[in-house]
Amino acid sequence: MTLSTDRSLTPANAGYERTLVVLLFFTWGTVFLDRMAQLYLAPYFAPEFALTSQQIGMLASVLAITWALSGFFFGALSDRYGRRRVLLPAIFVFSALSIASGLARTFAELLVVRALMGAAEGPCWAVITALVEESSPAHRRGRDVGIVVSAAALVGLAVAPVISTQVAARWGWRAAFFVAGIPGTLLGVLLARIVREPDRGGRAHGGARGIQGMRDYLKLLRYRNVWLCALAAVGFMTWLFSENVFAPLYITRVAGQSGTTAGFLLGASGLGSFTLALILPGVSDRIGRKPLLMGVALLSAIVPIALQISALYAHLWLLAAIICLANGGQCMPALVLVLVPTESVPPRFAATAIGLVTLVGEVIGATAAPAIGGRLAERYGLGSPLWLSAGGAGVVFLAGMFLRETAGRKAVEKECEPALAS
């Protein structure tokens, strides 16, 4: 089966492409803002609920597991029934649940609300990235996906820690959750008015149903790149969540810094992640996905290691500069969760491939890693989860070594063999 990757757009469609990228940039940034806010606010609500490090890890883990399951399930539904039908309700629901997080009165209530939030946010990732991938021509696909995915770094990893900690320091952590829930509602209204269903040649409702349809989905596992991307997703999410769950606690409890200082350092790290994620996926359109992935994996391992060097805390601007320049992390999901999986399977399974790889990464990396990190922190100290984070980046590097290149028409046609041909 030969897949066409020439998605050249007319000038009118090119204008829509730009509008879509901008809107989905802010939407994905808002999704990640709401997801990550609990990590930065942990030093503020943990004393009120008398939480242990393991319980804080559980909050991240339960959101990750519901995110993973719903992302795979609703991603597959959007492949069949359309993107808008799945995306728009999900945006309004997760925005309401962010506000509800600020109303929680016990740890159990907060745990339930965050689990429901994961179920609402999971579809957003699969559908947003599939929308961008389907609406971009081949020569701009990496650039457009990189721009949208970079919003997680700018909004979720750079702006969120600063705003969340500043609001919490002045008005309390509950107010910070309320603030985080407002942008999603506004963006949902804009998306409902502007975003249209992509033309996928009738594939939105295509494909077999019932048992045969399930067999088609299972055939995705025949692709070597899908397996390797799943492994890399585990490494990426281990790196991301082990660092972001426990770095605020390490900075405040071990390094003896204030919560706002933790927000400043993590904001600097997120700013670097945004900058590199904005630029590098577009570079991969020219040099290839594989070498870029391996490079950013090694670079990103520096961040959790630098946070443990006590001498650097006497020079906060130097530490901020190091973790800013070394954080290429948000380039990793653009490659291993979106570009390589979708370029390795037939287009009608785009969101399903994203959901499948994300499912594995979330279940093992984002769910198990914070829980394991919490236990390690209880036994060996808060530095151990940061070493776990560095190890996750190493896993991404190893998976990248064995990937088949997918950038470019010939690479895509070679990879997409007729395993799923009807």
DSSP letter for 103, please: T
- Rounded to an integer, what distance in angstroms lies between the CA atom of residue 338 and that of residue 345? 11
Two structure tokens written together for 134: 């389907």
Q: What is the pLDDT of residue 217?
A: 61
| One-letter amino acid of 31 | V
Give mean pLDDT in consecutive 10-residue pieces for the chain, a chain of 422 residues.
Answer: 41 74 90 82 84 79 85 83 88 90 88 91 86 79 85 77 84 87 89 79 46 58 90 94 87 89 85 86 88 95 95 94 91 91 83 84 82 87 95 96 78 46 45
- Rounded to an integer, what distance in angstroms lies between the CA atom of residue 32 and that of residue 24? 12
The alpha helices in 327-408, defined as continuous H runs, are: 331-333, 340-344, 350-360, 369-380, 384-401
At residue 143, what are phi and psi to the nearest 5 degrees? -60, -50
Q: What is the pLDDT of residue 278?
A: 83
* Domain range list for the chain: 11-195+215-417
Q: 11-195+215-417 — its CATH code?
A: 1.20.1250.20
Tell me which residue of 405, 190, 382 sits closest to 287, measured CA to CA: 405
Residues 6+ apart with CB under 8 A from 13: none
The alpha helices in 50-83, defined as continuous H runs, are: 53-81
DSSP letter string, 148-183 = HHHHIIIIIIIIHHHHHHHHHHHH-HHHHHHHHHHH
Q: Is the distance from CB of 352 to CB of 217 less than 8 angstroms? A: yes
Four-residue CA torsion sign, 265, 328, 390, 47: positive
Two structure tokens written together for 344: 């390795």
DSSP letter for 403, please: P
Cα dihedral 67/232/157/180 (nearest 10):
-10
Four-residue CA torsion sign, 119, 122, 128, 131: negative
Q: What is the pLDDT of residue 199?
A: 66
